[in-house]
Amino acid sequence: MTLKFHTPLPPLGHLVSLFTYYKGYQPGHRIDRFLPDGNVELVIDLTDFPKQVYDNETLAVRHSFRRAWISGLRKEFISIHAGQDAEMFVITFQKGAARAITGMPLTELTEQVVEGDLVFGPPILALREALLEAVSPETKMRAAERRLLAMAGGDLQPNPFVQYAVNQILLHPGQLSLEALSNKVGYSQKHLIQLFKEHVGLPPKAFLRIIRFQRAIAEIEQRGGIEWSHLALDCGYYDQAHFIRDFKRFSGFTPEEYLRRKNGVVNYVPVG
């Protein structure tokens, strides 16, 4: 299996946090539950086989995507193709920065997976072609950098107010009042929420809950023996009862169940 990562430098690095390329991953299962991770991703499938999104309960096929698609912010998990026989190039955007490339309010992508050409038009297929032509993972990364810079046009600066708000949330998930935040940003609470939604795709509090959940997920990965009540408080939950409730809302699993079922890949849990 090939698995390569690349972190673009600025100015593209302001918009894109990570490129991931993989090929030949052969998991022992067909379907993954993909947890809300607070990221917007542009996925380019370098094979010709469509990839499915399944119904969370029945695991029946719901949607099918080919070549390129973009997945917006989600508050719910989705059930997706686990990646057998796949060759994928995944572009993960910086949080709150995707708008400069998508050119549309991020709310329009929220809770959705959307065909790439509906968002980007023909340039996305050109990007895919370029990726197919590039032979090594490294040249693919460079091709992607070039094409994305072109697609972004001149506008490579994410909105600084939103950026500040996003960073505050990333720094202090847990205790953070929207009132304090909007005061610091200098906009009215209502305006900040509008701005935030437009650039991030979710209102600030909802985004914060996802970040808090992700912090819990990260702690679970790192810690050995886990005491849920300590972990809950450390991650900013009021107590472990609330932690478990949130955990289940976002992941569909209770924490113990998640521990039992998770395998190596964070945010992807085998379900079928």
Partner DNA sequence: TCCGGGTGGGATTGTAAAAAATTTACCTCA
Partner DNA sequence: TGAGGTAAATTTTTTACAATCCCACCCGGA
List the Cα angle 250/263/80 in 5-degree steps.
55
Residues 6+ away with beta carbon under 8 Å from 179:
189
Q: How many CB atoms neighbour CB 89 within 10 A?
A: 26
Residue among 5 and 238 whose Cβ is closer to DNA: 238
Instruction: By CB under 7 A, tell whether 197 contacts DNA.
Output: yes
Of 94 and 159, CB closest to DNA? 159
Task: Please check whether residue 90 is in contact with residue 42, taking contact to mean a CB–CB distance below 8 angstroms.
Answer: yes
- Give the contact letters, 208-237, x = binds to DNA (CB under 7 A), - = no: xx-----------------xxx--------
Q: Which one among 96, 201, 204, 252 touches DNA, defined by CB under 7 A?
A: 204
- Tell me which of 64, 167, 177, 263 binds DNA, using CB under 7 A: 177
Least Å distance between CB 183 and a second copy? 21
What are the backbone dihedrals phi and psi of residue 174, each rounded to the nearest 5 degrees, phi first? 115, -110
CA–CA distance, 67 with 47 (Å, rounded to integer): 7
CA torsion sign, 176 to 177 to 179 to 182?
positive
> Min. distance of Cβ 14 from DNA in angstroms?
21
Least distance to a second copy, CB of residue 243, Å: 10
Query: Which residues are at the interface with DNA (CB under 7 A)?
Result: 177-179, 187-191, 193, 197, 203-206, 208-209, 227-229, 238-242, 244-246, 248, 254-257
